């Protein structure tokens, strides 16, 4: 069955890198069902990352995510949640370069904070995040 996940190209990624990321997403066989460019507010970022509340990087994460526009996409494919996480690679670019050199974070991430892309961690988060960003409209 086709699964849907929320993918985000985070703030500060150049237009050229955004295009490159989108091409790699399509080459990997995902359909981009919806796309929207929005600057998240701090409140939206807080909703989005509520499971990280209290962590030492939480405030810098909220600043980062709300400082410029992001590209938010619904990616659709069989096993989309896990496959998108694989294409992104690990959060830490050092680790990504070691164990997943073809991944997007290995190619483009600056640091564990400024790591270029985000994806829902499981189906429940995917469903919740898609609803939060795109509303209840038909997919």
Q: Which residues bind ligand CMP (CB under 6 A)?
A: 52, 57, 61, 91, 112-113, 115, 118
Tokens 């939060």 belong to residue? 132
Are 46 and 64 a contacting pair, CB within 8 Å?
Answer: no
Smallest distance from ligand CMP to CB 63, Å: 11
Of 30 and 117, CB closest to ligand CMP: 117
Smallest distance from ligand CMP to CB 133, Å: 14
* Helical spans, DSSP H, in 30-117: 42-48, 58-66, 80-88, 93-99, 104-108
Active site residue 52: no
Are 75 and 5 a contacting pair, CB within 8 Å?
Answer: yes
| 87, two tokens | 């294409």
Give the active site residue among 4, 52, 118, 125. Answer: 118
Smallest distance from ligand CMP to CB 138, Å: 27
**Which active-site residues does the annotation give?**
118
């Amino acid at each position: 069955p086709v699964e849907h996940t929320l993918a985000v190209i985070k703030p500060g990624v150049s237009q050229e890198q955004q295009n490159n990321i989108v091409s790699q997403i399509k080459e990997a066989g995902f359909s981009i069902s919806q796309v929207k460019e929005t600057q998240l507010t701090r409140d939206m970022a807080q909703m989005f990352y509520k499971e990280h509340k209290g962590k030492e990087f939480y405030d810098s994460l909220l600043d980062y995510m709300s400082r410029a526009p992001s590209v938010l996409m619904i990616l659709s494919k069989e096993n989309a949640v896990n496959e998108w996480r694989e294409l992104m690679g690990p959060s830490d670019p050092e680790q990504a370069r070691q164990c997943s050199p073809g991944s997007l974070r290995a190619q483009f991430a600056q640091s564990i904070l400024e790591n270029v892309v985000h994806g829902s961690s499981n189906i429940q988060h995917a469903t919740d995040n898609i609803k939060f960003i795109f509303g209840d409209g038909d997919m």
